[in-house]
Amino acid sequence: MTTETTREQGQCLCGAVRFQAQIGAREIGACHCSMCRRWSGGVFLAVECEGVSFADEKALGVYSSSEWGERCFCTSCGSTLLWRSKDGAHTAVSVQAFENPSDFRLVSQIFIDEKPDCYSFTQATKNMTGAEFIAMVTSAEQKHD
């Protein structure tokens, strides 16, 4: 089965950072890890994208959050934009940066064991604990955080 790829625009709240990203499956993975929650101010709702290109990188902030990952944000308005692996293999873009988040479907939740009790999603999703997720990505040679 092949998934049609589309190219879409995304941007931060103030518009200083604009980018284009190639989107395959229009699926959202939610990450409840403590880093994503602090960083995003909520739950990081991520869409795996390829070929992200920024129109202008002047206002683009890059925070190195671990040995293998970094987080991009707008230095002007503070919007959470994307997480990417330093090896360039993976880019997870915030669904909120796109024009129509309703075009995407929530399919998975990771670090479900780090989710605070104060909220829950009602959708039926594939859920993984942090340990399960790390075991999966380590075997597939991908990493997160």
Please report, as ranges, the residues that interact with Zn ion according to CB under 5 A: 12, 14, 16, 31, 33, 36, 74, 76-77
Of the pair 16, 62, the CB lying nearest Zn ion is at: 16
Smallest gap from residue 68 Cβ to Zn ion (A): 13
Quote the CA–CA distance of 133 and 8 in Å, as a whole number: 28
Q: How far is CA 4 from CA 7, 14, 28, 72, 121, in A?
A: 10, 30, 16, 26, 27
CB nearer to Zn ion: give 36 or 45: 36
Q: What are the φ and ψ backbone dihedral angles of 63, each rounded to 5 degrees?
A: -110, 120
**Residue 101: CB minimum distance to Zn ion, A:** 18
C-beta of 77 vs 89, nearer to Zn ion: 77
Shortest distance, CB of residue 3 to Zn ion, whole angstroms? Answer: 24
Q: How far is the CB of 39 from Zn ion (least distance, A)?
A: 8
Cβ closer to Zn ion: 18 or 26?
18
Give 65-118 as a DSSP string: -SSSEEEEEETTT--EEEEEETTSS-EEEEGGGBS-GGGSEEEEEE-GGG--TT
